[in-house]
């Protein structure tokens, strides 16, 4: 029987939810359809929750939601965010993923979304669908016994409850988002879920997470740290060694450094592990010995697939004034064509053209370049971009360069 790829109805959603759990090897999360419905009610009604059906059995899953993605310059680009992509182990290599991705991308293009984004579990999968890696991030491990700041930093740290954290932090995050290429919107239900206030039926309340915020001299919250404590193993006499596992949101590197100091200066703490960190980690420069905070891991996060090249390229600003002609190869896809890009710090215009290209690149490389995370010259060195006119690469590097690396603080 051929596999049918189609939208999932409301009555089929619980089965789809279980298929997601099985596909991600989270077998214990089966039966959480009511909980997941909170995230996908709108997607179900829009037909953007997709399934691969073998008869009545759902053997593949895929879902997309609309969000705004911040691009260099601070503008919001409307994109489709893809998540919950799985194929059952019993149905591999039968074209199910291909069918799901094709339908999802077609829906995004029809809705006028300029790009599609996702966070892949594995590198090799999504390049064949036109996605390119666009952001990187790191995990940081801090030796609390050696960490210190060069000089005192302003701000007062305050512990608050989960409810207050959910009320206060969305405004802080929105300020962070508008200045962070790679950031997307974060709805209220996501804050409440992260705080443990919304959870599957029957799951007891988890009180292991603490919430700290940093207020500036005017009393305005500028960042937060949510963290948990666990034993680090050996004791010093009868005093336990403790590791904190933390997630930090901060408007500036200085705010981040001050929150890190709060974490590493707690009694008994010998190590702080921080997830979802910027790859450039400028906050470490506030430390007297930045080696006390090392990257324990670094990896790609957000991948981007351009659907409307003119809209995507014209949405952002460029570091320096310039004009460059790009030939984008997207065989059978909506971004295929030659584009004349003229832009600078004040904005950009993009038009299709019949001119000879300065650079030729696959749509995957355009996705990598768009947010400034991957320089054109880096991609040329890996044979992922071709310079057709001498000197064009230097122009592209100057234009696409961004003051800081893009960063995706919200996973989905």
Query: How does DSSP assign 181-247, residue by residue?
Result: TT-B---HHHHHHHTTSS--TTPPP----EEEEEE-TTS-EEEEEEEEEEEEEEEETTEEEEEEEEE
Q: Which two tokens stand for residue 98?
A: 């291909």
pLDDT at 239 over 80: no
* pLDDT band at 286; cut points 50, 70, 90: very high
Q: What are the residues whose beta carbons fall under 8 Å from the beta carbon of 120, sequence distance 6 or more?
A: 126, 131, 300, 303
* Catalytic-residue membership of 262: no
pLDDT at residue 1, rounded to an integer: 74
The domain limits of the chain are: 4-113, 138-300, 308-400
Cα–Cα distance for residue pair 338/237, rounded to 1 Å: 69
Instruction: Please check whether the two domains, 4-113 and 308-400, share a CATH topology.
Output: no
SS3 content of the chain, % helix, strand, coil (to 5): 30, 35, 35
Which of these is catalytic: 227, 286, 407, 412?
412
pLDDT at 238 over 90: no
* pLDDT band at 106; cut points 50, 70, 90: very high
8 Å CB contact between 362 and 327: no
Residue with tokens 């880096």: 378
What is the mean pLDDT of the segment spanning 377-391?
98
Residue 140's Cβ-side half-sphere holds a number of Cα atoms within 13 Å equal to 29
Q: How far is CA 361 from the centre of its chain?
A: 24
- Angle between helix 33-46 and helix 13-23 axes, rounded to 10 deg: 110
pTM: 0.96
3.40.1710.10, 1.25.40.10, 3.50.4.10, 3.40.630.30: which CATH number matches 138-300?
3.40.630.30
CATH of domain 4-113: 3.40.630.30
8 Å CB contact between 254 and 153: yes
Which of these is catalytic: 126, 286, 374, 407?
126
CATH of domain 308-400: 3.30.1050.10
* Catalytic-residue membership of 412: yes
């Amino acid at each position: 029987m051929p596999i049918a790829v189609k939208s999932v109805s409301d009555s089929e959603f619980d089965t789809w939810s279980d298929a997601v759990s099985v596909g991600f090897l989270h077998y214990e999360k089966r039966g959480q359809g009511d909980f997941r419905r909170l995230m996908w009610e709108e997607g179900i009604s829009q037909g953007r929750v997709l399934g691969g059906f073998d008869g009545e059995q759902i053997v593949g899953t895929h879902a997309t939601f609309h969000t705004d993605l911040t691009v260099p310059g601070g503008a919001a680009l409307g994109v489709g965010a893809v998540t919950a992509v799985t194929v059952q182990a019993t149905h591999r290599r039968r074209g199910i993923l291909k069918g799901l991705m094709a339908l999802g991308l077609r829906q995004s293009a029809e809705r006028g979304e300029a790009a599609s984004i996702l966070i892949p579990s594995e590198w090799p999968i999504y390049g064949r669908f036109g996605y390119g890696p666009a952001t990187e991030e790191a995990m940081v491990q801090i030796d609390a016994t050696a960490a210190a700041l060069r000089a005192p930093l302003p701000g007062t740290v305050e512990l608050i409850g989960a409810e207050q954290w959910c009320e206060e932090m969305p405004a802080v995050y929105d300020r962070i988002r508008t200045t962070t290429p790679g950031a997307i919107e974060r709805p209220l239900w996501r804050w409440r879920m992260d705080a443990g206030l919304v959870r599957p039926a029957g799951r007891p309340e988890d009180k292991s997470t603490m919430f700290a915020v940093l207020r500036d001299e005017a009393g305005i919250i500028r960042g937060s740290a949510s963290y948990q404590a666990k034993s680090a193993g050996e004791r010093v006499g009868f005093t336990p060694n403790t590791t904190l596992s933390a997630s930090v949101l901060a408007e500036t590197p200085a705010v981040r450094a001050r929150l890190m100091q709060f974490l590493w200066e707690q009694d008994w703490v010998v190590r702080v592990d921080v997830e979802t960190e910027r790859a450039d980690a400028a906050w470490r420069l506030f430390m007297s010995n930045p080696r006390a905070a090392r990257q324990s891991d670094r990896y790609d996060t957000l991948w981007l697939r351009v659907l409307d090249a003119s809209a995507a390229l014209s949405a952002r600003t460029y570091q320096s004034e310039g004009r460059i002609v790009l030939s984008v190869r997207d065989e059978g896809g909506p971004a295929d064509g030659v584009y004349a890009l003229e832009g600078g710090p004040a904005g950009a215009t993009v038009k299709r053209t019949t001119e000879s290209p300065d650079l030729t690149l696959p749509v995957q490389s355009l996705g990598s370049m768009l947010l400034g995370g991957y320089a054109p010259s880096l991609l040329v060195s890996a044979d992922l971009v071709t310079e057709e006119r001498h000197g064009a690469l230097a122009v592209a590097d100057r234009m696409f360069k961004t003051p800081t690396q893009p960063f995706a603080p919200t996973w989905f």
